[in-house]
Amino acid sequence: MSVVLPTFVESAIPVLDAIIKVDIGSFLLMDREEASHRGRNLNMNMSGSQKRPARLSSALFVALATTSTALVTTLGGALAAPKGELVVVNWLGGSELATMQAFEKAFTEKYPEVTIKEIPITWSGDARGAIRTTLMGGEKVDILINTWPSFRQELVENGVLRPLDDVWTAKGWDDKLTKSWRDLGSVDGKVYGIPYNYGDRSGLWYRVDTLKTAGIETPPATWDELLATFPKLKANGVTPYIVPGKFWAHAEVFETLLIRTAGADASRKLGAHEIAWNSDIVKTTLKKWREMLDAGCCADVATMLGTDWDNASDIVLKDAKGGFFLLGMWINNRAEENYGLKPGVDYGLVQFPALGLGHDADSSVDAKEFNAVTSGQNPEAADAFLDFAISAEGSAIFAKAGLASPSKATDSSLYGPVIRASNDVVAKADVVFVLGDRLPAELGDEYRTQLQKFLQDPSDANIDRVTDALEAKAKELY
């Protein structure tokens, strides 16, 4: 680590060093009583003429001491610059993994004395299982990438994560992240998560030419407009709305409809089980979804349950055989990188249409954050890593990769039109974290299965069964 100092400071270093060694050093070596005694004796034994040079020398001493203290701090800071190995648990894949590795490379270029050791997590289904295995297996980890608030809570409860309030204050992160981001990364009032990117999860992805061919000039802004697109798209041989119900992505539809129907606060309360799962709010949401199904939005139930999120993305954005689908911002990167489409020109993102129930500005978001792990052997490097993530330099790497950064230091001109539009929406919205990621794992799994059952039979009687089953499971867990 090299620190560039002004020339005059560099030339003063040997002098100051000598002073520090002789004067301050000997002064500090005295015990407090001796120092006090010596000071008294000096003053008592000096005459006035003798006192003047003494005052001068005292002033010089104070000045030098102040300067040297500042220098010591500077040099100390330089000496305390992070170094050594930083261990990062990385479970990301695809373009996100490439972005993360570019970020790590930039970090080590800034701090060349730090080397990053990645523990790559191979996982399928749910990365948390593999992350748990890694942590419980005794790996010494400095940084963990996380995207599940419920998982953060679990890790905090088991003493795995290090609180970051002191680091937050020391590094002045209030200048980079708003209070709402701090709250979003906190557990019981203490901050544990530093978000480095986030995404709108209430937007519909579409292909511009698919809509135009069907005679739809602008994407739907209201519920009625959305329903009106279905027959037009179907007439063109396009499935209007793709529901990827194979594993988890169908839940996005429910969550967005819940927010539009009852607001972000209702979603928060449902996640905390302050609202019952068999309440009218949930039933009304499912009935709203049924309206879409009745309007012929989607393929048959077998196709919905046989379609995963990546199939949905292919169908809508690559093959142009689907009208809309609802998913997170990583689709933006996929569309550009995998399909070679231009954002804002070939494809777009529009907020889920307004229902006119007073919650049309509310939005669901996801975020990825870094957590500092207590077992880590290099907290200084970990703190520098977190700081770098929300710096202008670090956040630019995410922005260039098409990922929105929550940092105020981010240069927003780096964003493409899709990200910029979504950021504008999120900035004005009452946002809530994705419901499925806030639920305890057991309930989250049951929730997705019960929504599949709803898709099989959206009748009132089955809505009652589905919501009762969810409420029964929730009662076991809260």
Partner 1 sequence: MAGPTPMGISRDGQEGGRKPSFFGGSEVGAAYVLLLPMLVLFGCAVVYPLVETVVLSFTDMRGMAAGKWVGLKNYGTLFADPNFRAALSTTIVWTLVVTALSVGIGWGLAIVCSLAPRATLVFRVMFFAAYGVAETVSGFIWLGIFRPDTSGLVNAVLAGIGLGDWTTAWLGNVSTALWCLMAAYAWTQVGLPLMTCFASIQTIPKTLFEAAYIDGARSASIMRYIVLPLSMPGLRVAIFINLLNALRAFDMIFVLTGGGPVRSTETIGYFMFRESMLQFKLGYGAAATVVLLVAVVVISIPAIIKRTAEAT
Is 126 an interacting residue with respect to partner 1 (CB under 8 A)? Answer: yes
Is 135 an interacting residue with respect to partner 1 (CB under 8 A)? Answer: yes
The correct pick among 53, 77, 94, 125 for binding partner 1 (CB under 8 A) is 125
Is 23 an interacting residue with respect to partner 1 (CB under 8 A)? Answer: no
- What type of residue sits at position 206? Y
Is 187 an interacting residue with respect to partner 1 (CB under 8 A)? Answer: no
For 402-428, letters b (16+ CB in 10 Å) and e give bbbbbbeebeeebbeebbbbbbebbee
Locate 298 and state its tokens: 């989607």
Considering only residues 302 through 341, tell me which ones interact with partner 1, judged by CB under 8 A: 302-307, 311, 315, 321
Helix (H, G, I), strand (E, B) or coil at 73: helix
Rounded Cα distance, 54 and 140, in Å: 56
The correct pick among 3, 136, 272, 357 for binding partner 1 (CB under 8 A) is 136
Query: CB of 115: closest distance to partner 1 in angstroms?
Result: 28
10 Å CB burial of residue 348 (0-12, 13-18, 19+) is buried
Rounded Cα distance, 86 and 369, in Å: 17
Looking at beta carbons, which pairs linking 418-423 to residues 24 or more positions away fall under 8 Å?
418/332, 418/343, 418/344, 418/347, 418/348, 418/349, 419/329, 419/332, 419/343, 421/349, 422/199, 422/200, 422/203, 422/329, 422/349
Query: CB of 171: closest distance to partner 1 in angstroms?
Result: 28
Q: Which is nearer to partner 1, 127 or 264 (CB)?
A: 127
Q: Segment near partner 1 (CB under 8 A), from 2-10, 13-21, 191-199, 445-453?
A: 445-453
The correct pick among 107, 452, 470, 474 for binding partner 1 (CB under 8 A) is 452
Q: Segment near partner 1 (CB under 8 A), from 195-203, 299-307, 387-395, 408-416?
A: 299-307
Is 201 an interacting residue with respect to partner 1 (CB under 8 A)? Answer: no
Q: Which is nearer to partner 1, 76 or 125 (CB)?
A: 125
Query: CB of 436: closest distance to partner 1 in angstroms?
Result: 12
Rounded Cα distance, 350 and 75, in Å: 52
The correct pick among 17, 118, 430, 445 for binding partner 1 (CB under 8 A) is 445
Residue with tokens 């300067």: 67
The correct pick among 149, 193, 203, 245 for binding partner 1 (CB under 8 A) is 245
Rounded Cα distance, 457 and 305, in Å: 12
Residues in the interface with partner 1 (CB under 8 A) total 35
Four-CA torsion 352, 416, 173, 381, nearest 10 degrees: 120
Q: Which is nearer to partner 1, 79 or 136 (CB)?
A: 136
The gap between the terminal CA atoms of the chain, to the nearest Å, is 50
Is 25 an interacting residue with respect to partner 1 (CB under 8 A)? Answer: no
Is 247 an interacting residue with respect to partner 1 (CB under 8 A)? Answer: yes
Considering only residues 374 through 403, tell me which ones interact with partner 1, judged by CB under 8 A: none
Cβ contact 207:216 at 8 Å: no
Rounded Cα distance, 307 and 282, in Å: 24
Is 128 an interacting residue with respect to partner 1 (CB under 8 A)? Answer: yes
Q: Which helix (H) or strand (E) holds 200?
A: strand 193-200
The correct pick among 48, 300, 345, 461 for binding partner 1 (CB under 8 A) is 300
Rounded Cα distance, 392 and 372, in Å: 21
How many CA atoms does the CB half-sphere of 128 hold within 13 Å? 15
Helix (H, G, I), strand (E, B) or coil at 416: coil
Locate 52 and state its tokens: 């003047």
Rounded Cα distance, 225 and 161, in Å: 47
Is 468 an interacting residue with respect to partner 1 (CB under 8 A)? Answer: no
Is 210 an interacting residue with respect to partner 1 (CB under 8 A)? Answer: no
Is 157 an interacting residue with respect to partner 1 (CB under 8 A)? Answer: yes
Q: Which is nearer to partner 1, 19 or 443 (CB)?
A: 443
Q: Segment near partner 1 (CB under 8 A), from 68-76, 182-190, 294-302, 334-342?
A: 294-302
Is 132 an interacting residue with respect to partner 1 (CB under 8 A)? Answer: yes
Q: Which is nearer to partner 1, 16 or 155 (CB)?
A: 155
Query: CB of 160: closest distance to partner 1 in angstroms?
Result: 7
Q: Which is nearer to partner 1, 221 or 302 (CB)?
A: 302
Is 158 an interacting residue with respect to partner 1 (CB under 8 A)? Answer: yes
x-or-dash string of contact with partner 1, 81-120, rule CB under 8 A? ----------------------------------------
Locate 75 and state its tokens: 């040099």
Rounded Cα distance, 468 and 249, in Å: 22
Q: Segment near partner 1 (CB under 8 A), from 6-14, 30-38, 87-95, 155-163?
A: 155-163
Where do contacts with partner 1 occur on this chain (CB under 8 A)?
124-126, 128-129, 132, 135-136, 154-155, 157-158, 160, 245-247, 299-307, 311, 315, 321, 441-442, 445, 449, 452-453, 456
